[in-house]
Structure 1
Amino acid sequence: MSTKGTSTSIARFDAAAGERLKNDGMAEADDSSDPAWADQCDAAIEEMARRRIPFQASDLVKQGLVGEPDKHQQWGPRFSTAAKHGLIRELTASKSKRTSSRSSRLVTWIGA
């Protein structure tokens, strides 16, 4: 097995830089969210967590708990914050099939 080029590939992978870029993107998405929508979304996540059934962002909309955000990236900070506070936990993850989501990570959550 050849390792030629391996060190170059490894040198280009910087997990800390990737995490910083992710956090910057999440902060940018959160800053651009309508505060009223963010509050409604947080309440919707709390409600679904109380129900203790698996759910995704689309379920919040289907249940009439919150409308769609202006940009789909605005979901991430809301769910991330709820998970960091121990309200929900990740159950499963896959890639979204919606073209507009650009194969983004699609997480199924459950109340923690």
Structure 2
Amino acid sequence: MSAINDNPTPGAPGSVTEPEQQSLLTDEGQIRKDAGMHLADIGTDEWWRDCCDRGIVALAAQTYRTGATFQAFDLIDIGVPEPDSPNRWGPRLLAAARAGIVEPVGYGPSKRPTVAKSAARIWRGTALAVRVMDGGAAA
């Protein structure tokens, strides 16, 4: 008899239901994602971080007013310089999302010409971004 039970009885000690398993996988994935984002953000040049954060607020406010969406590559079009690593974009956009400046709305093909249309996160601005741009609440 095998020590591994491929079909444990639901509710038996050591068994995990499908929703619980999905939750465990999601929690582990989130932990790994957060750790990776933290590592990507460590050592980010403060000047670039400030430029990026200001660009995110400006683009978020603009897109909120127009109803448009954006992705990280659009920040370059408004003057945010390329970071030393493309891994720097994610932590800044995640920080903006946590601050309520942007919200994720899905994924789409990247506009960046060098990545062959790989998936990119699509964002939209919030009313808070407009208030911050207008000199209201601080992000």
What TM-score bracket applies, with the shorter chain setting the length?
0.7 to 0.9
Larger radius of gyration: 2
SS state at 1:24 partner: helix
Backbone CA RMSD of aligned residues: 2.5
Question: Percent identity among equivalent residues?
Answer: 34
Partner residue in 2 for 1:15: 26
Measured at CA, do residues 67 and 16 of structure 1 come closer, stay the same or move farther in structure 2, by a change above 3 Å? Answer: same
1:78 matches 2:78: no
**Unpaired runs of 5+ in structure 2?**
1-5, 9-17, 127-139
CA distance in 2, matches of 1:40, 1:68: 10
Picking from 71, 74, 88, the partner of 2:102 is: 88
Q: With the length of structure 2 as denominator, give the TM-score of the two structures.
A: 0.62
Q: Where does 1:40-55 land on structure 2 (aligned, <5 Å)?
A: 40-51=51-62, 52=64, 53-55=68-70
Q: What is the one-letter code of the residue matched to 1:107?
A: R
Give, in angstroms, the shift of residue 82 of structure 1. 0.6
C-alpha distance in 2, partners of 1:30/1:62?
Answer: 22
CA offsets, 1:6-62, max 9 Å, x none? Answer: 88xx77x73222211111110010113111101110000000111123211111101
Deviation per CA, 1:55-84: give whole Å up to 9, x if none. Answer: 1111110121x1111111110110001111
The residue identity in structure 2 corresponding to 1:67 is: P
Give the unaligned 5+ runs of structure 1: none
